[in-house]
Structure 1
């Protein structure tokens, strides 16, 4: 049995069953209106890359926790969050590839770090290896998902039908991601003295990349009616995070903001090793299909 799109792979029965939203289908845009809005298509492709790279890179980071989370249920939760983001990435990279004359695999596996346009919050190494821990992962998930939920909610009214479709499904997924992170934030901040210290340290690590989430890019400004102005999201995101911090007895970290933006291809040193691991098989076996 084969499936034409992501939705059939989830709901159809039979011998071949797929449990992950991001797998089990060959055409990520099947069943979605693909008419182009009246905007510059190169700008539209670049914007889809931005949002797709956010999801792809962060999905890879979350997948690093498989079999390493503090409890089995969290292994499953983080894996499913990663797969939700992978499904979003597939659709967004397919839309970009449709314009650029390429495909999602080429964009995912055959670009170098300087060609990626994700926000740097998605790429920093928060664990489970050296230099990171679970509390830092939760801090990043709380900030990222609160921001992405606000973005996708606004994007549901996009003039591009593909972006609107991705957003309509994505808000349901990312609402869970945000709530999951908020619950863990309360649990860690209100637990032992050590867990609270780790939560505070985790927020301090991710906070220097907070302002970048709301920095408008010229491409976003040129795509009025299609893209979302990230600066317009700040009030909502601030309000949600402040609510969580108040409930957890936490305050915003007082740290300097990092210069530059991933939207311009300015990344941390941590993106290169992440991509090397993610792209290794595809580059070793060019042209392979799996």
Structure 2
């Protein structure tokens, strides 16, 4: 076998010499060969909207985690955060593809080229008011302690949802959840170990961890009030009412914070999520500019 000139040549050879070597990608339809028929009695628009919510949460949190590339406190953590981001990116790709298969494309398809897959059109060619993620994943990550607190809270909430979504009547959503549960379990446990390490560490690490808790805690207000879409799909056996996981999430968060010698703030007054309604903070615009800039500049490019 001829010696490859560069590491990229070697990666290309390992992936069949197709010029595509990025981790975890073959650039074909992620739902190829999967029956994407919408279950009887389920509104396709509702199913698509729900998958969009879950997909946007994953995509935006992934983008926030990438901001720690080259900034992590140790090399091992660099790899761990990258792996968490890749897991979330994989979940986002599957969920956005499912949303596209249910017909949720709208203006994003008009802005994209016909050759762009549905999940890419949804990720790269929607404007800020078309995203429906929670403010928890959108907020600036702050320092490393705050980033770990946010990852701990977000993964605890998402894991509780996905554990129940494994029983969804939509077989595609059920399969995505089943794949996501072990990933999210790792995310939660990894972040929890950092919360314990920082909270019960030096006075400075404790101070930063407590500041992170105090900054992230108010964002819990948005998580547990179901949208009308979630209410309808929960009744149809497809979705999970977020209120149903509140006490589980609260118990896990409280237990870990107390063990980390951190003060648990009062539970915030819950409200409908403005993010689910497309209402976002000024922090989203620069995040989307980074996420979408290359795709929008070269919409017909292939890599």
Q: Using structure 2 for the length normalisation, give the TM-score.
A: 0.85
Q: Is the 8 A contact 1:45 1:99 kept in 2?
A: yes
Where does structure 2 lack aligned partners over 5 or more consecutive residues?
1-11, 110-117
| Alpha-carbon shift at residue 256 of structure 1 (Å) | 5.5
Query: Which of residues 123, 146, 166 is equivalent to 1:108?
Result: 123
Question: Equivalent residues in 2 for 1:139-218 (5 A)?
Answer: 139-218=149-228
Question: What is the DSSP-based 3-state SS (H/G/I as helix, E as strand, rest coil) of the residue aligned with 2:14?
Answer: coil
Residue by residue over 1:107-160, the C-alpha shift from the partner in whole angstroms, topping out at 9 and shown as x without a partner, is: 00010011000011011111xxxxx10000001001000000000001000011
Cα distance in structure 2, aligned partners of 1:175 and 1:122: 18
Residue by residue over 1:72-127, the C-alpha shift from the partner in whole angstroms, topping out at 9 and shown as x without a partner, is: 0011000000000000000000011112265011100010011000011011111x
Q: Using structure 1 for the length normalisation, give the TM-score.
A: 0.89
Query: Which of residues 238, 263, 269 is equivalent to 2:276?
Result: 263
Which residue of structure 2 lines up, in the alignment, with residue 91 of structure 1?
Answer: 94
Which residue of structure 2 lines up, in the alignment, with residue 234 of structure 1?
Answer: 246
| Alpha-carbon shift at residue 19 of structure 1 (Å) | 7.5
Query: Which of residues 32, 35, 40 is equivalent to 1:33?
Result: 35
Cα distance in structure 2, aligned partners of 1:19 and 1:75: 18
Task: Report whether the alignment pairs 1:125 with 2:140.
Answer: yes
Question: What is the DSSP-based 3-state SS (H/G/I as helix, E as strand, rest coil) of the residue aligned with 1:214?
Answer: coil
Structure 1 segments, 4+ long, off by >6 Å, are none
Q: Is the 8 A contact 2:258 2:264 kept in 1?
A: no
Residue by residue over 1:221-275, the C-alpha shift from the partner in whole angstroms, topping out at 9 and shown as x without a partner, is: 1112001100001011011111111211122224865865210111111111100
Cα distance in structure 1, aligned partners of 2:32 and 2:248: 33
| Structure 1 residues 207 and 99, CA gap change in structure 2 (3 angstroms) | same
Cα distance in structure 1, aligned partners of 2:195 and 2:245: 22
Root mean square deviation, CA, Å = 1.8
Where does structure 1 lack aligned partners over 5 or more consecutive residues?
1-12, 127-131
**Who wins on radius of gyration, i.e. which is larger?**
2
Cα distance in structure 2, aligned partners of 1:258 and 1:238: 13
Residue by residue over 1:142-184, the C-alpha shift from the partner in whole angstroms, topping out at 9 and shown as x without a partner, is: 1000000000001000011111011001000000000001000
Q: Is the 8 A contact 1:32 1:165 kept in 2?
A: no
| Structure 1 residues 155 and 86, CA gap change in structure 2 (3 angstroms) | same
Which residue of structure 2 lines up, in the alignment, with residue 16 of structure 1?
Answer: 15
The count of corresponding residues between Structure 1 and Structure 2 is 272
